[in-house]
Chains A and B, each alone.
Chain A
Amino acid sequence: MQPKIYDVVVIGSGAGGGTLASRLANLGADVLVLEGGPQVNTRTDFNTHALPFEFPSRHIPTMRPGKPGFDAERSRGLGGKTMLWNAVALRLSQRDFKGRQHDGAGEDWPLDYADMAPYYDRVEREVGVCGNLDHLTDLPDGIFLPPVPLKCTDIAIQKGAEKLGVKVIHVRKATLSRAQTSRPACHFCGNCMSGCDVVAKYNSYDVQMVPALKTGKLTLRGNSIVHDLAISDEAKVSEVRYFDRETRAEGSTRGRVVVVACACAQSVALLLMSKSSRFPNGLANSSGQVGKNFIPHITAGFELFLEDFIGKPSENDEGFLDHGYIPSFMHDKKRDYARSFGVQYGYHNRRATGWARSIKGMGKSYKEAVKARYPAYMTFSPYQEMLPNDDSFIDLDTEHPDEYGLPRPRRHWKLSEMDMRLHNDMKRRCQEILEASRAEILSVSGEPATNHEIGGCRMGSDPRRSVVDATCRAHDVNNLYVVDASVFPSASEKNPTLTIMALASRTADMIADRLQKREV
């Protein structure tokens, strides 16, 4: 018997893989999704509503006893990181797509906002995004469900920021503020990042893949760790090789089209691992660009107490974590660096009380000081864009293989002097906003840290300087696509997930078109 050849094999099941696979299945393509982690039951498998005193260590494990997944590796499990994300869903602006045109540094996307807008519209309608229409140049409005009111503590920051001419808006999240397509509205338990067991918060598995299974065109295969993409004489991916995560049994499958959507560093690692005589330095890497241009978000972190709330009675203000957002406000200001930053704040969960150990003193006065500050505690984290440089890249660590014997992706990053100028200005301006908001600052992060991994398989029109084209197709390999944040030529300061989903939806249409025309 001939082995089955799928129309499309998708590796990875998160925001990129899940959106693309479900779209293609709904368009009638025969799709297989290979996910390295196990399938989890969103309703029953996460410790969503646990409290710390239920565990001797006081640490709440991600998964309930005996349930596999996510604890060891945040991205491994059906649904990928969308299971545990905080759901901030922001559109990139025209200025983000054409950053180089605006400030002469970094890279432009080979796409305009107008190319992406219909796909942002589509995914927002599909998954439900709440937000306010704010009419900002740098943060385009979308198709929004009603916004969720700002918390009292958010308004304190809003008032402080206002004094400096800085705008605080309602956060935009892929969490339902009213019921939609059999999903209930958010009930504001505050445990969004512990797995939303009612799926008011978007995850790619329950929201996209489960409905797409009804088409009969979608096959999900969990616990399948892909380690090699074999290539044919015509420079097409001919075979996807994987092994079972538990039994280690080898398997392989075929697809007319193969999509790599494993999340930034893992996608880079898979391409670099897939060596052949044609691509001795890794698949689709004739340019040597695979792994280059790693541009993760750079963050700073503040912990603070809002003075106006110290000593006030404790209220249930968990909400769905952060309700406010400070959009980029530097683009139009005179400054000695390119790009900008935005601020997420107030996303702490009030089950977490680790800050109490940092309050000075002991005895009755200590106890009173902690209690008084509990309603006033807040986290505050600006995110900046960094520009690509030669010292920031992902490669393979072959000397320290993972538990499966595979080389691990290794992240290297270094901020340029200009990135550091942005970083220092970002911290200074955040400090100003906090002072204007009457905050008692508990801690300020020292060194810059990374978050939101972006880059490594840059999109571009020049095959010598990029890995994929504007449709996310590899320049070198006719039937290979990469669909995750690794393809972003520039990161913007905005959370990447909604853009990953819009790209995935767009690429799905283009793949469907090519399948129909028998181009692949």
Chain B
Amino acid sequence: MANYSSDRRQVLKLFGAISATCAYPFAGDELYGQTVHEHGPSQSPNRFLNETDYRTIERIADLIIPATDTPGAVQAAVPEYIDFVISRESQHQAVVADGLRWLDAQAKQHGAERFMDLGEHGQLAILEPLCEAADAEKTPARNVQFFALIKRLTADGYYTSRVGLIDELGYKGNAVRASYPECVHEH
């Protein structure tokens, strides 16, 4: 995060230099990069999912992309993103409702009232077979569709978040360079 904002300042400095040294076509007071975008989706007070369902989705997202030495899906506000997308896509809503019901039914077979009452081991015992089935991409059953949807939204949400894109993956683009470097690796 810190790197990114210092890049931004460097952008401004560099462009100031460019405009002074070449006939830059645009007025100096409207330089590149000075427009500050609003950052991040706000904490929505109006969630689409009810509290119980939201917490379950949050838990699944946490298991798909956990916090490790870097933050995970929950710290990157992925559950809010998932809620946002589901709220806008009616076809997702039915898949999610069915999926959550199915999870709780499975939990009962594991001796718990609900999916959220299970420990991590029990939760993974339910989710990991779904994950394998989703990866195999065979005509997925409804419960596999549900997992595939939540995994897709978790991946999309996490790797487009500031935490995921910049801190985790190390995106360094959107910067200003005077030239493009020759490759110095051995190939």
Contact = CB atoms under 8 A, between A and B. Distances in A.
A370 interface: yes
A357 B180 CA distance: 31
A362 B135 CA distance: 10
A156 B160 contact: no
Contact of A184 (B24, B30, B37, B183): B24
Interface in A356-397: 356-357, 359-364, 366-368, 370-371, 374-375
A202 to B, nearest CB: 13
A49 B33 contact: yes
A502 B18 CA distance: 31
A150 B183 contact: yes
A54 B128 contact: no
Contacts of A189: 173-176
B39 interface: yes
Nearest to B62: A363
Interface stretch (B48-56, B98-106, B111-119, B163-171): B163-171
A357 B63 contact: no
Interface in A123-151: 148-151
Chain B interface helix/strand/loop/mixed? loop
Interface in A81-122: none
Given A188-B180, A190-B173, A350-B173, A44 B187 contact: no
Interface in A161-210: 179, 182-184, 187-191, 197-199, 206
B25 A371 contact: no
Contact of A155 (B25, B168, B170, B183): B183
Most chain A Cβ neighbours within 10 Å, of B81, B85, B170: B170
A314 interface: yes
Contacts of A199: 25
Nearest to B153: A357
B137 to A, nearest CB: 10
Contacts of B131: 361-362
Contacts of B164: 353
B23 interface: yes
Nearest to B158: A356
A213 to B, nearest CB: 13
A316 interface: yes
Given A190-B173, A375-B170, 9 more contacts: A49-B35, A54-B38, A182-B22, A316-B172, A350-B172, A356-B156, A357-B155, A362-B128, A367-B72
B65 A366 contact: yes
Contacts of B65: 366-367
B95 interface: no
Contacts of A1: none
13 contacts: A44-B30, A51-B37, A64-B35, A155-B187, A182-B24, A189-B175, A197-B32, A198-B25, A351-B165, A351-B174, A364-B66, A366-B65, A375-B170
